[in-house]
């Protein structure tokens, strides 16, 4: 396994591999790798010949007052996990390598970046789209893998690739959960034991929503009220800590006025120092 820190060196390596006809799979990450990331790596290992993981805590996707400085950085541990999972290359650049001064160019995916997390994290998806397209230009993958936990991100990247004719296939991979249902996230490390226990209410509320839909409930407001009732049943979460509960179209991310087709039920809740997101796909 090679660790490369310079963009031009990474490009040279990837161009050489592509000239040899190698199929490249790519997993962009911010490090602090967990089983969710490893599931992406395993899928890439099965489907491609060369597996590349990038580890870069991207400053442009963090807003003022967010946890950029506190975000876990665990490169030694991440490197070991990548080696054990069969990764061929880690791209591990410095901030100055990705954003040399002066830096003026950013990418936005209009409309899709506005709802859900976009309402509460202005500029976040601008930063995500920008760093991902830069990484695509450096790594030149055939397939890139994204987890469905960050569903809005997945939809945005897929649309960006389509709109800009980028020759990479985007594959979504199911959410990996802890035994108690909590979606795996690098930010789960922020939770105290009491907060960690209460965080399980997110998935419990989503399961209840799915149950209601399967039983015939079609009114989004009633479904959201049931989700909120479960979220508020603990001791820590209150209404002010719930950023959103949304039932949206899987492609457009538009709120459904009636649950009469397949949908994504998504939510974001702040618990202690962590802002947790989760979602579930439901077919009527």
What is the residue extent of each domain of the chain?
Answer: 2-173, 186-282
Give the active site residue among 37, 79, 124, 149. 37
Q: What is the pLDDT along the chain (284 residues), one digit of tens a residue?
A: 999 999 999 999 999 999 999 999 999 999 999 999 999 999 999 999 999 999 999 999 999 999 999 999 999 999 999 999 999 999 999 999 999 999 999 999 999 999 999 999 999 999 999 999 999 999 999 999 999 999 999 999 999 999 999 999 999 999 999 999 999 999 999 999 999 999 999 999 999 999 999 999 999 999 999 999 999 999 999 999 999 999 999 999 999 999 999 999 999 999 999 999 999 999 98
Only one residue has tokens 């199929």, namely 23
For β-strands 242-248 and 263-271, DSSP reports them as: antiparallel
CATH tag, 186-282: 3.30.1300.10
What are the Cα distances from residue 190, in Å, to 117, 233, 270?
19, 21, 11
The CATH classification of domain 2-173, taken from the options 3.40.50.620, 3.40.309.10, 3.30.450.20, 3.40.50.1970: 3.40.50.620
Output the pTM of the full model.
0.97
Output the CA torsion sign for 40, 77, 15, 162: positive
CA angle 114/238/266 to nearest 5° reads 35
Q: Is 124 a catalytic residue?
A: no
Is residue 149 within 8 A of residue 36, CB to CB? The reply is: yes
User: In this structure, what DSSP letter does residue 108 have?
Assistant: -
Q: Which residues contact 209 (CB under 8 A, 6 or more apart)?
A: 223, 224, 226, 227, 247, 265, 280, 282
């Amino acid at each position: 396994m090679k660790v490369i820190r310079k963009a031009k060196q990474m490009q040279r390596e990837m161009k050489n591999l592509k000239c040899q006809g190698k199929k490249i799979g790519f997993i962009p990450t911010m490090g602090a790798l967990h089983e969710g990331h490893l599931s992406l790596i395993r899928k890439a290992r099965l489907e491609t010949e060369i597996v590349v993981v990038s580890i870069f805590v991207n400053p442009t996707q963090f807003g003022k007052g967010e946890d950029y400085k506190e975000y876990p950085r665990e490169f030694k541990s991440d490197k070991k996990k990548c080696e054990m999972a069969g990764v061929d290359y880690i791209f591990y650049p410095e901030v100055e390598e990705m954003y040399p001064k002066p830096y003026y160019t950013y990418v936005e995916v209009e409309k899709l970046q506005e709802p859900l997390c976009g309402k509460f994290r202005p500029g976040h998806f601008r930063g995500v789209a920008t760093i991902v397209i830069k990484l695509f230009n450096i790594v030149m993958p055939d397939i890139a893998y994204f987890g469905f936990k960050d569903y809005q991100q997945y939809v945005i990247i897929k649309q960006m690739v389509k709109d800009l004719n980028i020759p990479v296939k985007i594959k979504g991979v199911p959410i990996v959960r802890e035994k108690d249902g909590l979606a795996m996230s690098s930010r789960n490390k922020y939770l105290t034991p009491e907060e960690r226990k209460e965080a399980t209410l997110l998935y419990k509320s989503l399961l209840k929503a799915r149950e209601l839909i399967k039983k015939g409930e079609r009114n989004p407001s009633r479904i959201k009220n049931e989700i909120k009732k479960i979220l508020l049943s603990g001791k820590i979460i209150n209404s002010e800590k719930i950023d959103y509960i949304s039932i949206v179209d899987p492609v457009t991310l538009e709120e459904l006025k009636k649950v009469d087709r397949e949908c994504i039920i998504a939510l974001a809740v702040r618990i202690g120092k962590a802002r947790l997101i989760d979602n579930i796909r439901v077919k009527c």
